[in-house]
Amino acid sequence: MSRVATYLKLALAANLWGTTFALSKILLATINVFALITLRMLFALAALLVYLAATRKIGRVVPMFKANARWMLVIGVAFFALSYIMQYSALSPWIPGESSTFNQAVLLNLQAFFVVAINRFYFKKRASRYVILGAMVAFTGAVLINFKPDGFSLAETIWSDLMTIGCVVLWGCFTAFSKPITEKEGSDPIVFNTIIIIIASIVLLPFGALVPGGLANVHSFGIGEWLAVAWLGAACVGVTYVLWFSGLKEIDSSRVVVFVYMEPIFAGILTFLIPSLGEQLSWFSAIGMVLCFLGVTLAQREPRRKGIEAARPTIAIGGGAAA
pLDDT digits (tens, 9 = 90+) for 100-155: 566 677 788 899 999 999 999 999 999 999 999 999 999 999 888 877 655 555 55
- Give the amino acid at 8: L
Instruction: Report angle CA 198, 13, 125 to the nearest 5 degrees.
Output: 85
Q: In this predicted structure, what is the pLDDT of residue 274?
A: 63
When pLDDT is cut at 50, 70 and 90, the band that residue 75 belongs to is very high
Average pLDDT for the chain = 84
When pLDDT is cut at 50, 70 and 90, the band that residue 95 belongs to is low
Q: In this predicted structure, what is the pLDDT of residue 186?
A: 84
Closest residue by Cα to residue 7 from 316, 308, 250? 250
Label residue 84 exposed, middle or buried (CB < 10 Å: 0-12, 13-18, 19+).
buried
Q: In this predicted structure, what is the pLDDT of residue 2?
A: 80
Question: 3-class secondary structure for the chain?
Answer: CCHHHHHHHHHHHHHHHCCHHHHHHHHCCCCCHHHHHHHHHHHHHHHHHHHHHHCCCHHHHHHHHHHCHHHHHHHHHHHHHHHHHHHHHCCCCCCCCCCCHHHHHHHHCCHHHHHHHHHHHCCCCCCCHHHHHHHHHHHHHHHHHCCCCCCCCCCCCHHHHHHHHHHHHHHHHHHHHHHHHHCCCCCCHHHHHHHHHHHHHHHHHHHHHHCCCCHHHHHHCCHHHHHHHHHHHHHHHHHHHHHHHHHHHHCCHHHHHHHHHHHHHHHHHHHHHCHHHCCCCCHHHHHHHHHHHHHHHHHCCCCCCCCCCCCCCCEEECCEEEC
Q: Which of 40-44, 149-153, 258-262, 311-315 bottoms out in mean pLDDT, i.e. has the lowest? A: 311-315
Q: Residue 97, by phi and psi: left (phi above 0), alpha (psi -120 to 50) or beta?
A: left
Of all residues in the chain, the percent with pLDDT exceeding 70 is: 82
pLDDT digits (tens, 9 = 90+) for 284-306: 888 998 999 999 999 999 876 54
Q: In this predicted structure, what is the pLDDT of residue 277?
A: 55
When pLDDT is cut at 50, 70 and 90, the band that residue 316 belongs to is very low
With a cut of 90, say whether residue 240 has pLDDT above it: yes
Q: What is the mean pLDDT of residues 14-24?
A: 81
